[in-house]
């Protein structure tokens, strides 16, 4: 019969024989760097947001909802780059801004008193928007993949 001490010792010995590949550690660090501490996540609604946004004729509409805040995003692809026009509802008020994020680039934009914002020239791929409001936790959209 094996007791707990022998089992733990065997696990310690075994862990030294199969190190985590470097690319796995690098990918984990990069994914961890994309998190927004204490953020509330707005969930996608509708078919387009759940499956990602593909380049098609005309802009694609994507909606994300959380309690008390809705993101409506209009995503347009042109010349291989992504343009995002967005609306935060209800308008979050003065001193608010959004971060339109890709894994490699973040564009910070002020939110108009009407709740509107825009960001252009983003690379295709994964996209998320974070709304920062004074006195509130940040609200982020889930990541959505935008492809030409």
Q: What is the mean pLDDT of residues 5-34?
A: 76
The pTM score is: 0.77
Q: Based on the structure, what is the number of domains in the chain?
A: 1
CATH number of the domain to which 114 belongs: 2.60.40
Q: What percent of the chain has pLDDT over 90?
A: 51
25 lies in some domain: no
134 lies in some domain: yes
DSSP string, 93-142: -TT-EEEEE-SS-EEEEEPPTTSEEEEEEEPSEEEEEEEE-TTS--EEEP
Q: What pLDDT does 22 receive?
A: 83
Are 88 and 103 in contact by the 8 Å Cβ rule? The answer is no
Q: What pLDDT does 93 receive?
A: 85
Q: What is the mean pLDDT of residues 38-58?
A: 67
pLDDT at 89 over 90: yes
Write the pLDDT tens digit of every residue in 93-113: 889 999 999 998 999 999 999
Q: What pLDDT does 116 receive?
A: 96
Q: What pLDDT does 105 receive?
A: 93
Q: Which of the pair, 24 or 116, is modelled with greater confidence?
A: 116
10 lies in some domain: no
- Residue 35, sorted as left (phi over 0), alpha (psi -120 to 50) or beta, turns out to be beta
Host domain of residue 121: 38-147
124 lies in some domain: yes
2 lies in some domain: no
11 lies in some domain: no
19 lies in some domain: no
90 lies in some domain: yes
């Amino acid at each position: 019969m094996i007791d707990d001490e022998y089992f733990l010792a065997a696990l310690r010995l075994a862990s030294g024989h199969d190190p985590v590949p470097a690319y796995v550690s690098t990918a984990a660090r990069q994914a961890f760097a994309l998190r927004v501490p204490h953020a509330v996540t707005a969930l996608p609604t509708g078919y387009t947001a759940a499956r990602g946004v593909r380049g098609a004729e005309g802009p694609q509409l994507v909606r994300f909802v959380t309690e008390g805040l809705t993101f409506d995003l209009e995503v347009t692809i042109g010349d291989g780059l992504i343009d995002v026009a967005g609306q935060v509802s209800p308008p979050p008020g003065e001193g608010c801004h959004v971060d339109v994020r890709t894994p490699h680039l973040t564009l910070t934009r002020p939110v108009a008193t009407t709740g509107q914002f825009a960001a252009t020239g983003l690379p295709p791929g994964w996209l998320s928007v974070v709304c920062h409001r004074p006195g509130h936790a940040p609200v982020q959209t889930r990541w959505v993949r935008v492809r030409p």
